[in-house]
Chains A and B, each alone.
Chain A
Amino acid sequence: SAVISQKPSRDICQRGTSLTIQCQVDSQVTMMFWYRQQPGQSLTLIATANQGSEATYESGFVIDKFPISRPNLTFSTLTVSNMSPEDSSIYLCSVEIRGRNRETQYFGPGTRLLVL
């Protein structure tokens, strides 16, 4: 397994501002993912972040709105830009750990964002 931490754990932001969420893993991982969970909804994949390459975004998500950095194998950031109340969600990062259950993903605790 992996120990994944996220900062901040929660934040309240004003419309039009940006927030950068950090994700730190205690081991080197190739694949990291960012998800969004809107209130009462399931998780939706925003993008896949692999070290050394540009993030791959899912339909409906664009780099200008959700820029992602992946400077090394243990760290990634997701920025929510020019926020609106519709961006209020829990944002989670996850990593894929290869082992006996090689496709297993492990999740961080999430960042709860409220945009006013």
Chain B
Amino acid sequence: SQQGEEDPQALSIQEGENATMNCSYKTSINNLQWYRQNSGRGLVHLILIRSNEREKHSGRLRVTLDTSKKSSSLLITASRAADTASYFCATDGGSGAGSYQLTFGKGTKLSVIP
């Protein structure tokens, strides 16, 4: 079944503002990952957070994970026009033989206006 439902579906902000995207999932996971996809291009891996971690930083990115609420958030600080893209969260299948398979949400389309 589909996991990793992001919200909002679309987000438009001014350059320099922060952008926050949320992701919810339904079943247990080993880790959660965030990807970026520029229009019509392949996915770029941004950050992975394990189920026993609560927060992770990478440059201007901050990811949080709340396993009790089965939710994660991606914060992009001081946004730039180049951050304009779709952002997807992806969860693995938790324990079991198929746990390496990722399930993606529908994504959040972020537009950063110069």
Contact = CB atoms under 8 A, between A and B. Distances in A.
A41 B40 contact: no
Interface residues of B, number: 22
Interface string B77-114: 00000000000101010000000111111110000000
16 contacts: A6-B42, A41-B106, A42-B105, A42-B107, A43-B88, A43-B104, A44-B104, A94-B43, A96-B100, A103-B30, A103-B31, A103-B33, A104-B45, A107-B42, A110-B40, A112-B40
Task: Give chain A's interface secondary structure class.
Answer: strand
Interface in A82-113: 90, 92, 94, 96, 101, 103-110, 112
Nearest to B44: A107
A31 B90 CA distance: 17
Contacts of A105: 33, 45, 90, 102
A108 B106 contact: no
A39 B16 CA distance: 30
Interface residues of A, number: 23
Given A48-B101, A110-B40, 13 more contacts: A33-B102, A42-B88, A42-B104, A43-B88, A45-B101, A45-B102, A90-B40, A103-B31, A103-B92, A103-B100, A104-B33, A107-B42, A112-B40
B61 interface: no
A112 B39 CA distance: 12
B41 interface: yes
Contact of A108 (B31, B42, B45, B101): B42
Smallest CB-CB A-B distances: 5 pairs? A109-B42, A107-B43, A43-B104, A110-B42, A42-B104
